[in-house]
Amino acid sequence: MEKVNRILLGNSNVYLIRGEKGYLLIDAGFPNTVKTLLNALGKKSINLQDIILIVITHVHYDHVGNLKEIKDFTGAKIIVSSNEYELLKKGIISIPKGTNISGKLISYLGNLFPKVISYPPVEADIRISETYSLRDFGFNASIIPTPGHTEGSLSVVFDSGEAFVGDTCFNILPINKSTVFPPFANDIPLLLKSWKLLLDTKVQELFPGHGKPFDRDKLQKSYIKLKEKII
Ligand SMILES: [Zn+2]
């Protein structure tokens, strides 16, 4: 795989990867940050129109905020989980339950004020509910459903060992609290299963929705920790 371009849009990462036919964009960032994206692309001499495909890891406003604008400008095909297709079409989200006190509070407040976290609705082109190959688009990669953070969370796994996991893993805690457990999750046992699914691939490097890339070893350790906690 070619070099991964990580671009921070608001508080969330988007990733841009070049394939044989054009670029794949993973997620669309925090709302109203298209300018930041354009600046970053300009520095790398990439045109927005070179994006041919957008995979949405999950339908949260900090991952789909600029999706409509980018879609209108590029005409790129959009892939989303069939579980979250309707949410995206309506421009709404359901906030997962928090996994810690601050996460629980944010989840509670967010569900009280759903309009605050709405975004421009988008109709996706492709909905998936099982493993889906991206070879036809020119990428040696597959999308695999990795639910847990949300019902329809997806990960993009490249044959060369890179995985783009959205909020299935967070890498924002200090090193001494070394876990990639997200602050929000709908279903923790399901999240654990999804981590196992990722570990069952040849993944070596993981690229989260929040924080810096991390290695397989960190996921493995987080998996063992979480498993001990919930069994
Ligand atoms: Zn997020």
| In the chain, domain spans | 5-230
Q: Is the pTM of this model over 0.75?
A: yes
Q: Which of 33-42, 88-97, 160-169, 181-190 has the lowest mean pLDDT?
A: 88-97
Q: Is the pLDDT of residue 217 over 60?
A: yes
Please, is 27 exposed, middle or buried when counting C-beta atoms within 10 Å of its C-beta (0-12, 13-18, 19+)?
Answer: buried
- CA 59–ligand 1 middle distance (angstroms): 9
Q: Which of 25-39, 88-102, 106-120 has the lowest mean pLDDT?
A: 106-120
- CA 228–ligand 1 middle distance (angstroms): 26
The domain made up of 5-230 has a fold known as: Metallo-beta-lactamase; Chain A (3.60.15)
In the three-class reduction of DSSP (H, G, I as helix; E, B as strand; rest coil), residue 168 is classed as coil
The protein residues having their C-beta less than 5 angstroms from ligand 1 (an ion) are 62, 167, 209
Question: Residues 86-94: what's their mean pLDDT?
Answer: 88
Write down the H helix ranges in 32-167.
Answer: 34-43, 61-64, 67-74, 85-90, 101-112
- CA 13–ligand 1 middle distance (angstroms): 9
- CA 184–ligand 1 middle distance (angstroms): 9
- CA 10–ligand 1 middle distance (angstroms): 10
Which residues have C-beta within 8 Å of that of residue 65, sequence separation ≥ 6?
9, 10, 28, 29, 30, 31, 32, 33, 119
- CA 91–ligand 1 middle distance (angstroms): 16
What is residue 7's predicted lDDT score, i.e. its pLDDT? 97
Tokens, residue 216: 């397989």
Place of tokens 């975004």: 119
- CA 159–ligand 1 middle distance (angstroms): 25
What is residue 168's predicted lDDT score, i.e. its pLDDT? 97
What is residue 23's predicted lDDT score, i.e. its pLDDT? 97
Sign of CA dihedral 96, 97, 100, 104: positive
- CA 77–ligand 1 middle distance (angstroms): 21
Question: Residues 26-50: what's their mean pLDDT?
Answer: 94
E strands along 125-191, which residues?
A: 126-128, 132-133, 141-145, 154-158, 162-166
- CA 168–ligand 1 middle distance (angstroms): 9
For a pLDDT cut of 90, what percent of the chain falls above it?
80
